[in-house]
Amino acid sequence: MSVCPTDFDEKVECPFVDRKEFIEAFENAFRNIDQKNYSILVYYGVAGIGKTSLRKKLPTLLEKHNKSNQHTRVIWTSIDFATEQYRQPYKFFEILSSQLHQKYGIKFNSFDIALATYLKKINPHNPLVKENYSEDSIVRDVLDICDEFVPVNLIPNVYNLAKSLPERYQKWALKRKEDISKLPDLEPTEIYERLPVYLAHDLADHLQNTSESAVIFIDTYEALWEKERDKGSFNSRDEWFRKLIENIQKSCLWVICGKESLRWEEVDEDWKNYLDQRKIGKLPEKDALDLLKQCGIIEKDIQNILIESSEGVPYYLELSIDIYRKIKQKEQPTPGNFAKVPEGIFCRFVKYLDREEKETLKVLSVPRYWNRELFKTLIEKFNTGYPATSFSELHRFSFMDVDEEGKCSMHQLMRKSLQDYQDPDLKKEVHNFMLDFYSNQLKDLDIKAITQENENALTEAFYHAKESLEAEKLCEWFISVSDPFYRAAFWQLITPMYEEILRILESELGPQHPDVATTLNNLALLYKSTGEYEKALPLFQMALAIREKILDPQNPDIASTLNGLAELYRMMGRYDKAFPLYQKIFDIYELMLSPQHPEVAMALNDLALLYFEMGHYDKALSLYQRTLEIVEEVMGPQHQYVATVLDNLALLYSQMGCYDKALPLYQRALDINEKVLGPQHPDIATTLNNLAGLYHYMGEYEKSLQLYQRTLEIIEKSQGSQHPYFATTLNNIGGLYASMENYERSLQHYQRALDIREKVLGSQHPNVATTLNNIGLLYNNARHYEKSLPYYQRALKILEDSLGPEHPDVAVTLNNLAIFYTNIGKYEEALPLFERAVDIIDSTRLGLNYPYFLQLMSNLILASGNLVNKWSQYYSFYGIIYLYQE
């Protein structure tokens, strides 16, 4: 039997009901479109409140205007961010320009050239095919003249080239020659960032030349933040969209529909002058009544119950209208057919479905979504009696939704009603089936090739596991299936799942259960990996307290938690806390494990890293060498942990000035990691960053910059742009630009690194001092001496307090501070600082191997001037006045 009412082939198309206030706001904004530089009208409110219906209604007013005012035409188009690909700037610009070109013949010459240049730069070996461009595209015309689109040859001579093209390009080429001519010199990322500017210029040129106005409708704006809300700055997600608006002044009205109001004033308070934000609340009772009447519901008692239960949400009324028509095919609806609360209403709704329909919907209410294949599998598995060929008919109901990718879901009120009133055994059976279904997709995962489908499978499997498994089994299952994702650095994906498991375990097993300690420990490791150190610390401490209470003192699990806590303290710069924990770990391992055990090697590596950061390079070197011998012998020369030790050892050699020793170690570490982890893993970023630093030291700046940029891309994708290591790379790029004497870009990177470090690590962390020192040095080198002093002073105070007065980093800042006093002629104040810096370097036995040591002596003699004889007995270093690489 047909799922949908036989009188209706499609689901209910409800007429638009009057939203007078919001229509008037649009009409007013349109009338005053040229009164401000930018016109942005925002409609926001909860899902189902009628934003999309309003957005579909407004263009009819524009069409009416165009018919009655032929000399003041309005062009318009609409884009819905519910389509996932449109949320990407590149695709959005493509669809926007394509729609306006197809509807109104608008030319986007600058944008087309810029986009073609970008595509050619990122895929230089792939020729552009003119058949991919419209008949009147400038790129197609260029390809008709030239055999190949080569930006470096074509674009600088764009005006001359235009002479060979149709006449319509002459005016454009003359106006936009300067912008287009810059394209060959821009990096692909720079072109990508400027795409909205090129598109905006093209549209602005059209509007200016034709005296037309434009209205751009954007729907489902909140989708830009899907899965991204906690990543970085909230307003960074639509920065590209603001850039587009900023470059089209006047003559353009933007109508944006979303669940929330815009927060652009957080970026620039001036946006308040241009944003007209209108919250769409409940549908007025009069409008709700008009909707019911227009759809044939004339019984006053039924009207009253539906309006009361809908709570002013139009979509809820649409569901009620759908079911009303279904009932009326069999009998006259009565108020008794509709309960007063949503659950009751939906229970009654289900009553009037066929048995096959009801049984199918009960099964479908358990998964959160499905596609055609899973739909078929479920109805066959649970023998609902519904024909597998009637997939489309079932999904015509208003409570069903199918997106453009064929992903189906059910309205939440309907879904909840079905779950609440179905057999619990059936519900449990479907959950078990879905758990097996998704778990099978997680078997034997290659951590280098985890796909979006694998991520979705884990998310859905976890949802069903919570409904299927007891607490202890749930914990055991999740540790197993999430391990590949942890090793592949999908930390942001699994962290909220671990948080939820912790709540379940504490509730059902009690706060002192071993599984609670395990989950606390694993969650702390995740927080540590994502740079959330303050969150990780209490979890490690709680896990340690539980394990020390319930386990034998020599249990390896205690050593594991101690190691995580010690590593966290090291990363937080709290070395006094880390060192005794490492000693405690070795006491446990000495009793439990052989000296060649991998766990011992890992502990040695971590201790060496601590010595390195404390400036004890000789101790660190000995431990790294011992660690490398163990792991190569026990784990094999191609093991991923071997790469970790190689990278650490190379970094130590680099800091000691032994570049010839460091370079092959970095290259070997990189080769191993790329083979084992793939090119986008955070561990790859670590090695790339360190290798970039080495090339910087060696003066190979272009190689260094390329590696740093690749590092940033990996970190931002895997850990986010607020991670401490992202700040580290920004800091190092700042140092590189300083060496290249590009002080403006250097300061920009330093300041951004400082902002992240102070926010994430705290204002007293040694890494904050590192960036402060670098900014002070930058101002010193730029001869803004008065600006550098407070940065040096604050850096010195932080380093002395956190690392102690004898650390090499203290000597770096002392040296830079001494150079500052030398530059302003205060030699007597510089001398004791140089002396103290020399004493520190002598005590660490770095000597002539310290980077830039010889350059230091030469620069010091030049700086000392008439005190050269007095100071010639001293030697200091001028080295790290360009930057301190971490």
DSSP 187: -
Tokens at residue 199, please? 């598109």
Nearest to 532 by CA among 488, 495, 494, 481: 495
Residues 363, 382: contact at Cβ < 8 Å? yes
336 burial via Cβ count (<10 Å: 0-12, 13-18, 19+) = exposed
- Residue 368's pLDDT is 93
3-state helix, strand, coil in the chain (%, to 5): 70, 5, 25
| 332 contacts 303 by C-beta, under 8 angstroms | no
Q: What is the pLDDT of residue 808?
A: 73
Q: Which DSSP letter does residue 283 get?
A: P
**pLDDT for the residue 46:** 60
Quickly count: other Cβ atoms within 10 Å of residue 664's Cβ: 12
| β-pairing verdict for 408-410 and 400-402 | antiparallel
Q: Which residues pair with 370 in a beta bridge?
A: 408
- The radius of gyration of the chain from alpha carbons, rounded to an integer in Å, stands at 33
CB 61 within 8 A of CB 23: yes
Copy the structure tokens of residue 389: 């060929």
d(C-alpha 101, C-alpha 108), whole Å: 8
Cα 40–Cα 46–Cα 50 angle in degrees, nearest 5:
75
The residues facing 258 across adjacent strands are 44
Beta-strand relationship, 39-44 and 74-80: unpaired
CA nearest to 573, candidates 814, 809, 882, 883: 809
**Parallel, antiparallel or unpaired: strands 213-219 and 400-402:** unpaired
The alpha carbon of 57 is separated from its chain's Cα centroid by a whole number of angstroms, namely 35
How far apart are the C-alpha atoms of 864 and 449, rounded to whole Å?
Answer: 59
Structure confidence at residue 246 (pLDDT):
92
Q: What φ, ψ does residue 698 adopt, rounded to 5°? A: -85, 0
**CB neighbour class for 520 (10 Å; exposed up to 12, middle 13-18, buried from 19):** buried
- Helix, strand or coil for residue 380? helix
Q: What is the pLDDT of residue 195?
A: 92
Q: Encoding tokens for residue 847?
A: 């000597």
Helices (H), 440-550: 452-468, 471-487, 491-509, 514-529, 533-550
Cα(542)–Cα(527) distance, integer angstroms: 14
Q: What pLDDT score does 8 carry?
A: 36
Interior angle at CA 263, CA 257 and CA 264, nearest 5: 100
How far apart (Å, rounded) are the C-alpha atoms in residues 250 and 277? 18
- pLDDT score for 842: 66
Which helix (H) or strand (E) is 81 found in, with range?
none
Pairwise CA distance, residues 98 & 106, whole Å: 9
Which residues of the chain register pLDDT less than 70? 1-18, 46-48, 147, 150-168, 227-232, 309, 311, 336-353, 396-399, 412-413, 841-886
* Global pTM value: 0.55
Torsion of CA 418, 420, 422, 423, to 10 degrees: 160
